[in-house]
Amino acid sequence: MSNQSFPTFTDISTLGEFGLIKELTKNNASKHHNTVKSIGDDAAVIGTDDEAMVISTDMLVEGIHFDLMYTPLKHLGYKSVVVNLSDIYAMNAVPTHITVSVAISSKYSLEAMQEFYDGIYTACKMYNIDLVGGDTTSSPKGMIISITAIGQAKKDKIVYRSGAKKGDILCVTGDLGAAYLGLQILEREKQVYLAHPGVQPELDKSQYLIERQLKPEAQRGAIEYFKREKIVPTSMIDVSDGLASELLHICNQSDVGAFIEEGKVPIHPDSELAALEFKLDPITCALHGGEDYELLFTIDEKDLEKIRFMPEVYIIGEITDKTDGIKLHTTGGNMHNITAQGWNHFAE
C-alpha cells in the first residue's frame, strides 16, 4: 500500500498581507553593500554616500482600493501620487521623482485618461516631483495603478520604524478617522443612489470627511519642520492602515511597548458627528480607520519643547517597556490592549 499523502495548500486569506510578505521574503538576502534597508519599512534605502536614495512603491486596484463610481479620475490620480509620497516622507526623506504605470480597459477615452493624469501632474506640481517614467497598458477588466516614488535624504537623518525607545514621546501630525468616515458616507450615498437613482446625494455637510478620503495630502510640512528645527524623530511611519496597526509596527520593530491617551487622539468634530450617525465609536475609527496619511512618530524627550511649536502636531502617548504591552488609556480610566484590525485585503 502506498503511504503517499496529498499536498496541502495554504490559503493566503489566512495569512493576511503582512503574513504573506513575511513568508515570501524570509530568505531575501541582500547582495549589494549599498542596500541599506530592504523590505520592512515605509520605503527601501539605497546608497553608499552620505546622501541616500529612498524608494517606495504601491499598487492600487479598482474594486479593492477605489470605486470609480464616486472617485473622480483627477482625484484618483492625485491620491495615487500622494499615498506614495507619504511613504517617502515617513522615512524623513524628500520625494523627488515618480514613475506611474497604469492598466486600463480599451473602453476608456483619452479624455478620461487626461483627467487622471491631470491629477497626477497637479500632485507633482504641488509636491515638486518629476514624473520620469512608467508603463501604459491594457487590462481585461478594471483599472490598476502602480506608482514608484523616489526620494533623497542624508543617510544619518533617515528615520526607520525601529528606533523608538522607552520614554520617547508619541506624536501624530493631524486628526484621525476622517478618511474612513468619508468612505462610509460615499458608500452609503452610493447604495442610496443605486436604490433610488433620482435622489441627489447628501454630501455638502460631509465635505471635510469626503475630501480626507478622496484628496488626502502627504505631510511635507512636518518633514520641513524637522529639518529646520534640527529634530530627527526616533521612529516614524505614515498612517495608512490605522493608528493601531502603525503603532504595532513601531512597537514590534523597536521592541518596545507604548500607551495612547484616548482623550489626546485628535478627532475632527465632523468625524465625531459622523461616527455618531453610523453608530461607531470615534476612537475605533481613529484606531482602525486608515487612509489618513498623517505621520505617527516618536521623539526623544529632549526634543519635547521644539515639538510644542510645530504648527500641526498632537502628543498622544508615550513609549514604554516591551513588557508593559501596547495600551489605550481610555477617558473613563480603563486600560485596553491595542490590537491590529487594519485592512486585510485578502480576508473576505
Per CB under 8 A, contacts with a copy of itself among 313-332 are none
> In the bound complex, what is the minimum distance in angstroms from residue 189's beta carbon to a copy of itself?
22
> In the bound complex, what is the minimum distance in angstroms from residue 159's beta carbon to a copy of itself?
17
> In the bound complex, what is the minimum distance in angstroms from residue 185's beta carbon to a copy of itself?
23
Q: Does 25 bind a copy of itself (CB under 8 A)?
A: yes
- What is the rounded distance in angstroms from the CA atom of residue 214 to the CA atom of residue 219? 16
Q: Among residues 94 and 171, whose Cβ is nearest to a copy of itself? A: 94
| x/- map, 98-137, a copy of itself, by CB under 8 A | -x-xxxx-x-xxxxxxx--x---x--x---xxxxxxxxxx
C-alpha dist (Å) from residue 291 to 132, 286, 295, 309: 26, 10, 11, 26
Query: First-to-last CA distance in the chain?
Result: 40
Which range binds a copy of itself by CB under 8 A, 7-15, 215-223, 271-279, 323-331?
7-15
> In the bound complex, what is the minimum distance in angstroms from residue 292's beta carbon to a copy of itself?
19
Q: Does 5 bind a copy of itself (CB under 8 A)?
A: no
Do 127 and 220 meet the contact criterion of CB atoms below 8 Å apart? yes
The cell for 347 is 480576508
The cell for 326 is 501596547
Q: Which of 39, 69, 276, 335 binds a copy of itself (CB under 8 A)?
A: 39
Let me know the angle formed at the C-alpha of 326 by 323 and 331, rounded to the nearest 5 degrees: 125
Do 256 and 165 meet the contact criterion of CB atoms below 8 Å apart? yes
Q: Among residues 46 and 192, whose Cβ is nearest to a copy of itself? A: 46
Q: Among residues 148 and 252, whose Cβ is nearest to a copy of itself? A: 148
Instruction: Calculate helix-pair angle for 207-214, 269-277, nearest 10 degrees.
Output: 100
- What is the rounded distance in angstroms from the CA atom of residue 145 to the CA atom of residue 118? 15
Q: Does 69 bind a copy of itself (CB under 8 A)?
A: no
Q: Among residues 78 and 259, whose Cβ is nearest to a copy of itself? A: 78
Q: Does 141 bind a copy of itself (CB under 8 A)?
A: yes
Q: Which of 71, 97, 252, 253 binds a copy of itself (CB under 8 A)?
A: 97
Residue whose cell numbers read 499598487: 59
- Compute the CA torsion angle 50, 21, 148, 290 (nearest 10 deg): -100
Considering only residues 158 through 217, tell me which ones interact with a copy of itself, judged by CB under 8 A: none
**What are residue 170's DSSP bridge partners?**
298, 317
Do 111 and 74 meet the contact criterion of CB atoms below 8 Å apart? no
Q: Does 11 bind a copy of itself (CB under 8 A)?
A: yes
Q: Does 6 bind a copy of itself (CB under 8 A)?
A: no
Q: Does 82 bind a copy of itself (CB under 8 A)?
A: no
Closest CA to 159 of 245, 244, 71, 227: 227
Considering only residues 47 through 66, tell me which ones interact with a copy of itself, judged by CB under 8 A: 53, 55-59, 61-65
- What is the rounded distance in angstroms from the CA atom of residue 107 to the CA atom of residue 85? 30
> In the bound complex, what is the minimum distance in angstroms from residue 329's beta carbon to a copy of itself?
34
